[in-house]
Amino acid sequence: MRVIVGLGNPGRQYAHTRHNVGFDVLDTFAKRRKVKILGRQCHALVGSFDHYGEQILLVKPQTFMNESGQAVGQIVRKYHLDPADIFVIYDDMDLPLGKIRIRLQGSSGGHKGMNSIIHHIHSTEFARMRLGIGRGGEVINHVLSRFNRKDKQIVDVSIEQAADALDMILEEGIEATMNQYNRAES
């Protein structure tokens, strides 16, 4: 089993904010795969599908961003997973708007949702995809804001590309996907 986690905050008031691009990518990917992320377990909304005999679990923690690790940790323990079975998608203010970066492991980079996951699974050795949301103003107000029309067009393309990257990871592996999506031009 592999688990793909999209980070965000639950609730309509946070829908499609900068901090919720992880949810948006997961929703786009799930729609393509005709998967409904409606089940509830381990403080998360979940959906799953079979990929060549392997179960892929799609997870949207419902614990708010800063406590995302509670849900991810419970999923890891419930299914006896290794950190390497986890792939996390989240926003990154340090990347320019619309940029995508994929890594096999690493620190949280100061992202509180990632800090929580690292704390709860006791590891940094899980893959992740960061989507650039750009910088602007006071951090909390910025990440909880919605995109203006121009920025939304850029981010919508990025969300589609991130869903493409998830497909590529499943079909061709993470190394090939990193080679394509981590290029300076992407």
* pLDDT value of residue 140: 83
What pLDDT sits at residue 10?
96
Is residue 186 a part of any domain in this protein?
Answer: no
What is the residue-level pLDDT of the chain in tens, covering all 186 positions?
A: 999 999 999 999 999 999 999 999 999 999 999 999 999 999 999 999 999 999 999 999 999 999 999 999 999 999 999 999 999 999 999 999 999 999 999 999 989 999 999 999 999 999 999 999 988 878 888 889 899 999 999 999 999 999 999 999 999 999 999 999 997 554
151 occurs within a structural domain: yes
Is 19 tagged catalytic?
yes
Q: Is residue 103 part of a domain?
A: yes
What the block records as the tokens of 146 is 């919605």
Give the predicted TM-score (pTM) of the model.
0.95
The one catalytic residue in 19, 43, 111, 120 is: 19
**What is the extent of the structural domain holding 109?**
2-181
Phi and psi at 56, nearest 5°, equal -110, 120
Task: Output the pLDDT for position 186.
Answer: 42
- Which class for 185: exposed (0-12), middle (13-18), buried (19 or more C-beta within 10 A)? exposed
Domain assignment of residue 140, yes or no: yes
Asked if the structure places residue 160 within a domain, the reply is: yes
Count of domains observed in the chain: 1
CATH code (residue 42): 3.40.50.1470
Confidence (pLDDT) at 183 = 76
Cα separations (Å) of 73 from 33, 43, 135, 160?
A: 25, 10, 30, 28
pLDDT of residue 145: 87
pLDDT of res. 135: 85
